[in-house]
Amino acid sequence: MRSVEPLRFRSSDRRFSLYLPARGVVALLAHVRQAGRLETGGILIGKYTEDLAEATVAEVLGPPPDSRAWGTSFLRGVHGLVRELRTLWGSAVRTYYLGEWHFHPYASSEPSPEDQRQMFSIAQDSKFRCPEAILLIIGGDPATDWEVTAHVFIRAGHVVRLERG
């Protein structure tokens, strides 16, 4: 198993960036290893810099108990999320829903057309209060050979790929 380092992603125009601390990477890997050969996922909680240019992940929440997983599909449940998000919003250090994460077991970390449809739906849904929703996908073998991609889905209908580095 390779060592776990924090991950940083940026758009080519530097408008968007995402920072995932090492503890977030460890949490992601724990969730995907537990899932085995099934897809899994959850939500990303965090905060933004004052200028809104960088999102930092504070927590990687795993799949709610009502989630459903298959080998090539995942439906994230909602049980307990509203309560969890309200608790985080009301805490002394306010954090926000940043977006979603999920796992493509032994496959590419690129978003599928269904992933893209779901993320545009989230970005356009005012209940999420997230007009620029982040999607982080981990793919490959979580024990030895995994990769992560990050994208920002803009309410206006386009996607921005964030590059590592």
Q: From the candidates 5, 39, 100, 147, give the one annotated as an active-site residue.
A: 39
> pLDDT of the chain along its 165 residues, tens only?
567 899 999 999 999 999 999 999 999 999 999 999 999 999 999 999 888 789 999 999 999 999 999 999 999 999 998 888 888 777 777 888 999 999 999 999 999 999 999 999 999 988 888 889 999 999 999 888 999 999 999 999 899 999 998
Q: State how far the alpha carbon of 153 is from the alpha carbons of 35, 45, 118, 122, in Å.
A: 26, 16, 10, 9
Nearby residues of 145 by Cβ (< 8 Å), 6 or more positions away:
none
pLDDT value of residue 53: 82
Measured in degrees and rounded to the nearest 5, phi and psi for residue 95 equal -125, 165
Rounded Cα–Cα distance for residues 48 and 94 (Å):
10
Measured in degrees and rounded to the nearest 5, phi and psi for residue 164 equal -65, 145
Catalytic residue status for 39: yes
pLDDT value of residue 89: 74
User: What's the predicted TM-score (pTM) here?
Assistant: 0.93
pLDDT value of residue 2: 61
Contact 149, 13 (CB under 8 A): no
Strand boundaries in 29-131, DSSP class E? 40-48, 54-61, 68-69, 74-75, 96-105
**Residues facing residue 150 across a β-bridge:** 136, 162
Q: H helices then E strands: how many in the chain?
A: 3, 10
The structural domains of the chain, ordered by start, are: 7-164 (3.40.140.10)
